[in-house]
Structure 1
Amino acid sequence: MNLQGSYFSVEGWNPFTAMERFLNPYRYTQKVPFRGGELTVRWTSRVERAIRLRTAPLPVEMQLYFACVVKKRTLFPAAAPSDAVAVDDRFLVFLTTVESDRCDPIAFAANYPARRELVSTGAKRMRARELSLDYRKDRWSGDFFV
Structure 2
Amino acid sequence: MNTQITIEGKRLGIQLSRRAEQALSQRQTPLITEMELYFSCLVRKQVRFHEGADNLPGESVAVNDRLRVRFRPVMTQSCHVDEIAGKAPPLTDFPVVNAAAFVPHWLRIDYRNGQWRGEFGYC
TM-score range, shorter chain: 0.7 to 0.9
Q: Is the Cα–Cα contact under 8 Å of residues 47 and 134 in structure 1 kept in the other structure?
A: yes
Aligned pairs, how many?
Answer: 119
- Amino acid aligned to 1:42: Q
Q: Return the structure number with greater helix share.
A: 1
User: Does structure 1 residue 145 correspond to structure 2 residue 115?
Assistant: no
What do you get for the CA RMSD once the two structures are aligned?
Answer: 1.9
Report the CA distance between 1:78 and its aligned residue.
Answer: 3.0
How has the CA–CA distance of structure 1 residues 99 and 82 changed in structure 2, closer, same or farther, with 3 Å as cutoff? closer
1:41 & 1:63 partners in 2: Cα distance? 16
> Which residue of structure 1 lines up, in the alignment, with residue 49 of structure 2?
76
Q: Return the structure number with greater strand share.
A: 2
- Amino acid aligned to 1:47: A
Report the CA distance between 1:103 and its aligned residue.
Answer: 2.3
Measured against aligned partners, the alpha-carbon deviations of 1:71-124 in whole angstroms (never above 9, x if no partner) come to: 001001233356210002231100111112442344333232234211242346
User: Does structure 1 residue 53 correspond to structure 2 residue 29?
Assistant: no
1:134 equivalent among 93, 110, 119: 110
List alignment gaps of at least 5 residues for structure 1. 1-27
1:40 equivalent among 13, 17, 29: 13
> Which residue of structure 1 lines up, in the alignment, with residue 37 of structure 2?
64
Report the CA distance between 1:57 and its aligned residue.
Answer: 1.6
Taking structure 1 as the reference length, what is the TM-score of the superposition? 0.72
Q: Percent identity?
A: 31
Report the CA distance between 1:135 and its aligned residue.
Answer: 0.6
Q: Is the Cα–Cα contact under 8 Å of residues 60 and 93 in structure 1 kept in the other structure?
A: yes
Give the number of the structure whose alpha-carbon radius of gyration is greater.
1
